[in-house]
Amino acid sequence: MRDDSTRTQVVSANHVGPSLEFVSEEDRVRWDRRYADHGGVSVDHIALPAVFQPFAEDFPTAGRALDLACGRGGVAVWLAQRGLDVLGYDVSPVAVTQARELAELGGVAARCHFETVDLDDGLPAGPPADVLICNRFRDVRLYRKILERLAGGGLLAISVLSEVGAAAGPFRSRAGELGQAFDGLAVIAAREEIGAAWLLARRC
């Protein structure tokens, strides 16, 4: 599982406080520092998030994958090793550099492309994704765009921090949020417990 497993970002419709531009730059600096402090990448970082590992065989072995807030690229490289062509976005240039290094180590650099993207500005346009994964990053403004980006038959794997079993907070999803946001998909598995929520679902 990625070592940035606590990473989240959310902006509500009633956002108050610093401007989005300030918050985004602050996030970038903070995450650059955190990734730099972690040191070099290792093949040990290549894995699905733990909550999705029991469903590894549900992930296709060909097609396009999109990894939002990809961090150091452990999930993206796993998907590429499975046979997918992967595009990963992250706000941190340091993380993107490390993800490219990990793809080289994993022998799948030709199948992986990583870009520095601030998702606060929205999801960049691109082709439909056969797999879309978003692990521990939450921005409710992206939910509709995520649905639109998912190809027919495509697989969505999304996990967020949750208020369920934990104190409420601005970075946590409400009870039932993922199920409601993606209710048009066929659910393979989903769970909310002890401060976390996740959903694995397919577009019919």
* Domain residue extents for the chain: 20-202
DSSP annotation string for the chain: --TTTT------TT--SS-HHHHHHHHHHHHHHHHHHT-S--GGG----GGGGGGGGGS-SSSEEEEET-TTSHHHHHHHHHT-EEEEEES-HHHHHHHHHHHHHTT-GGGEEEEE--GGG-PPP---EEEEEEES---GGGHHHHHHHEEEEEEEEEEEEBSTTS---TTSBPTTHHHHHTTTSEEEEEEEETTEEEEEEE--
Each residue's pLDDT, cut to its tens digit, for the chain (204 residues) gives 333 334 444 433 333 333 334 347 787 788 788 878 887 889 999 999 999 999 999 999 999 999 999 999 999 999 999 999 999 999 999 999 999 999 999 999 999 999 999 998 999 999 999 999 999 999 999 999 999 999 999 999 999 999 998 988 878 999 999 999 999 999 999 999 999 999 999 999
Q: CATH second-level architecture of 20-202?
A: 3-Layer(aba) Sandwich (3.40)
